[in-house]
Amino acid sequence: MSSLLKNRLQEERKQWRKDHPYGFFAKPEKSADGSLNLQSWTAGVPGKDNTIWENATYPLTITFPNDFPSKPPKVRLPAGFYHPNVYPSGTICLSILNEDQDWRPGINLKQILLGVQELLDTPNPDSPAQEPAWRAFGKDRALYEKKVIEQAKKYAKAG
Amino acid sequence: MSRVEGLKCVLGDDTYRKIRNAKVLLVGAGGIGCELLKDLILLGYSEVHVVDLDTIDLSNLNRQFLFRHKDIKQPKASTAVNAVQSFNFFKTKLVPYQASIYETDLFPMSWFEQFDLIFNALDNIQARSYINKVALLLNKTVMESGTTGTNGQAQPTFPYHTECYDCLHRETPKTFPVCTIRSTPSQPVHCIHWAKSFLFTSLFSEDDEPVVQPEGKDTGELGTDNQQEIANLISENNELVELKRSIASEDFVDKVIAKVFTKDIENLLKISDLWKTRKQPTPLEYNNQIKEKVLKISKEEIGTGQREWTLEQNLKVFIDSTLALQKRIAIEKEIEFDKDDEDTLNFVASATNIRSHIFSIPLKAKFDIKSIAGNIIPAIATTNAIIAGFSALLSLKQFDESYENRIQNSKAVFTVSNSDKFVSPSMLQSPNPKCATCSAVRGVAHFDTSKTLNDLLGALQSTYGLDEEISLSLGSNLLYDIDFDDNVEKTLKEMGIVDGVLLNVADETDKYQSVKGGDLKLPDIKMAEKPPVEEKEENDQDDEEDGVELINDNDDDLLIVDVKEATSPDKRKAKAQDYDDTHVTKKPKTDSEIEIVE
Ligand SMILES: [Zn+2]
């Protein structure tokens, strides 16, 4: 493993620990020996208030590849997540997570998660990743909103 | 004049004497390695150890001049060593190893310590980077060399004094976004990635992580409430998984063609927004009539793949290679892509071209696809010989009187083909202060792994004046930070801090944030009798102590602890964990000093 990767992942943990946006969480997964695996995180992104995504926290998994930060992390929502720019597997089609588009090694976890939050309510119809949500978003907005609100209930914040 | 007299004349008595006593390591016995081995014995080095894991391949013979046709499949290291015996005029002792340099059982840190110099003759970044770390740990000079086509470079690296291998930012190999590969290819290389990393991997390899992650693999995680939509969405991938299940069936290849070159393309066309600004793909037309015509194509017509194939010829190759792979997978269970494995290369080359045809992308000859898919950089014997020669010549400077002189007198040498001066020297660069590998301060200490994490924290704090806001991690595993103290009562051993692992200790207070360029100067101290952690432990010192290596990072007071087990000198032997940063050395107790270097 490269020193760059180690140093950077420690930095990500430290930065997040010291400062993260309200309503978000992000933590490395626990390994069998009780240590935390800094290459594999789980996180939660709250839907923005006053949008059809509100009152829910959407779970993400974030995997940092060995060549991070040259390469972006893989960020996934649950498989089958309903959103025009989310693949059936849950992989998110977001330009800042795309090495050939807007990924820069300086982009940190906070920016990524804020980017995902932003994408939720502002899908990009030019970059379809799944058919149902993309189709409904373009052609049957009422159906789209109904599905999104149903999904928000599924991921509703506890309490 | 005898050869010895001649060599003395050339080198001077002093260098001659030193070189006749010098023991060096040569890592790699390939293109540069063969040349370098010849050069080193002709310079009269006393002892050369040669490490190479590879065996000789037909394709090596055009430039690795120590090998002959009869040597194919023989180990490179021992074959090279035997080949040079006929001109081993100065009776250089030669020791070959057919092994991976990463094997810490065979090559622990203590083994590297015996060498006066390390010559790298490697062809990959990973191994160079590994030797770089070894050199930084042991403070060894490395003679680095490398060539790409007519470009080459040779230079010594002096740990912490001149730039290290990792100081230069190295481009990682290009990968492409899933969207481009899966839906909207526009260059041959996109189709090659699709054929190699998606199609081939999905059908013939069990690899969980193909280079381009196909989406939709984890269908097991699906929620149940919107099953209907999901079923439709993931069908493309499910069909491929389904197809793989029928890999033994007779019409497998027809099914593959119908799905990936026709049906999937038709489905893509339905997403009309994709094609507003792009040329639409044309699904492959494939039926029994076309199939019959294709199957009639002869082997002669296909040829060796130097020139481009027509669409029909590509289909023929695709069918034949799929049938061959189908047969093999029944026995081999999974097959990895290998540019030298004709079946896998034919499959990838033909699939690439059929897809290129569909997307109106120029077709490529198999030969070209091979070099792209196999990431082949052409190797030229002449460049290797020139660069190896310079590496050997530059090594003579390493026998100059003082370390400062050696650095002063050393140069980097590089070749540039498109200038009127083919070979140019350049000054050695200073280390890059941002280099994550060498912009650090290191040292070695010892402790007992039955102590708890808390003991270690206390020791680090009291020794280095850190407060409790530090973090401890092994590789990318975090063991402790101020918000994660679950493990403090566990022993170091339980947390994996055992023989030879590198432990990072980072200050997280931002105290040193404003201090750049390693201004946190830990003095050049030697603490053989009082390693830092041992101070905390009163009476339980025994032979099973562990060494610590401390590294200070330029902006975060990062310490890396390399745990080393110390034993009595007669028990000099080592074992290790097998990852990148792991080193184990059982050192004689007298070696167990802390040395903190900038
Ligand atoms: Zn460096």
Cα gap B576→B561, rounded to integer Å: 15
- Partners of B222 on chain A (C-beta within 8 Å) are 79-80
Residues tagged in the binding site annotation of B for ATP:
28-33, 52, 60-63, 76, 100-101, 123-128
Calculate how close chain B gets to A59, using CA atoms only, in Å. Answer: 13
| Domains in chain B: boundaries | 3-172+379-426, 178-373, 441-575
B126 CA distance to ligand 1 middle (Å)? 15
- The answer to whether residue A141 is domain-embedded is yes
Work out the pLDDT band at B191, boundaries 50, 70, 90.
very high
For chain A, the 3-state helix, strand and coil shares in percent, each to the nearest 5, are 35, 20, 45
What pLDDT is recorded for position B446?
A: 60
What pLDDT is recorded for position B447?
A: 63
Does CATH number 3.40.190.10 belong to domain B3-172+379-426? no
**What share of chain B in percent tops pLDDT 90?**
37
CATH code of the domain covering residue A9: 3.10.110.10
b/e burial code for range B127-139 (CB count within 10 A of at least 16 → b): bbbbbbbbbbbbe
What pLDDT is recorded for position B586?
A: 27
Residues tagged in the binding site annotation of B for Zn(2+):
164, 167, 435, 438
pLDDT digits 0-9 by tens, B290-326:
999 999 998 888 888 788 899 999 999 999 999 999 9
Please indicate whether residue B375 or residue A32 has the higher confidence score (pLDDT): A32
pLDDT digits 0-9 by tens, B43-80:
999 999 999 998 998 878 888 999 999 999 999 999 99
| Mean pLDDT of chain B, nearest integer | 76
What pLDDT is recorded for position B596?
A: 29
> Do B556 and B507 meet the contact criterion of CB atoms below 8 Å apart?
yes
User: B152: exposed, middle or buried (C-beta count within 10 Å: 0-12, 13-18, 19+)?
Assistant: buried
- The answer to whether residue A65 is domain-embedded is yes
pLDDT digits 0-9 by tens, B362-410:
999 998 898 888 766 667 899 999 999 999 999 999 999 899 999 999 9
What DSSP letter does each residue of B12-49 carry, written as one string? Answer: -HHHHHHHTT-EEEEE--SHHHHHHHHHHHHTT-SEEE
What pLDDT is recorded for position B79?
A: 97
| H helix or E strand, kind and range, residue B403 | helix B403-409
- The answer to whether residue A10 is domain-embedded is yes
Tell me which residues of A are annotated as active site: 93
pLDDT digits 0-9 by tens, B229-288:
334 335 566 677 778 888 888 899 999 999 999 998 888 888 777 777 788 999 999 998
Residue of A4, A12, A87 to mutate when probing chain B, most B C-beta within 10 A: A87
Cα gap B544→B499, rounded to integer Å: 10
Same topology between domain B178-373 and domain B441-575: no
Q: Do B166 and A3 touch (CB under 8 A)?
A: yes
Is residue B483 over pLDDT 70? yes
User: ipTM of the predicted structure?
Assistant: 0.79
pTM of the model as a whole: 0.55
- The answer to whether residue A134 is domain-embedded is yes
Long-range contacts (CB closer than 8 Å, 24 or more residues apart) made by A57-65: A57/A23, A57/A25, A57/A155, A57/A157, A58/A116, A58/A120, A58/A155, A59/A155, A60/A113, A60/A116, A62/A26, A62/A109, A62/A112, A63/A39, A64/A5, A64/A9, A64/A38, A64/A39, A64/A40, A64/B476
Triad A144, A24, B506: Cα angle to 5°? 145
What pLDDT is recorded for position B524?
A: 30
Domain around A102: 3-154
> Do A48 and A37 meet the contact criterion of CB atoms below 8 Å apart?
no
- The fold adopted by the segment(s) B441-575 is 3.10.290
> Do A137 and A84 meet the contact criterion of CB atoms below 8 Å apart?
yes
Stretch B165-185: mean pLDDT: 66
Indicate the number of domains in chain A. 1
Stretch B445-449: mean pLDDT: 65
Work out the pLDDT band at B501, boundaries 50, 70, 90.
low
- Residue B519 makes CB contacts below 8 A (sequence gap 6+) with none
- The answer to whether residue A36 is domain-embedded is yes
pLDDT digits 0-9 by tens, A37-78:
999 999 999 999 999 999 999 999 999 998 888 889 999 999
Strands B117-120 and B23-27: parallel
Among candidate residues B407, B394, B398, B532, the one with its CA nearest the CA of residue B466? B532
Question: CATH homologous superfamily of domain B178-373?
Answer: Ubiquitin activating enzymes (Uba3). Chain: B, domain 2 (1.10.10.520)
B62 CA distance to ligand 1 middle (Å)? 35
**Which stretches within chain A are classed as H helix?**
3-18, 109-121, 131-139, 141-154
Q: Do A33 and B494 touch (CB under 8 A)?
A: yes
- The answer to whether residue A159 is domain-embedded is no
b/e burial code for range B82-115 (CB count within 10 A of at least 16 → b): ebbeeeeebebebebbbebbbebeebbbbbbeeb
- The answer to whether residue A81 is domain-embedded is yes
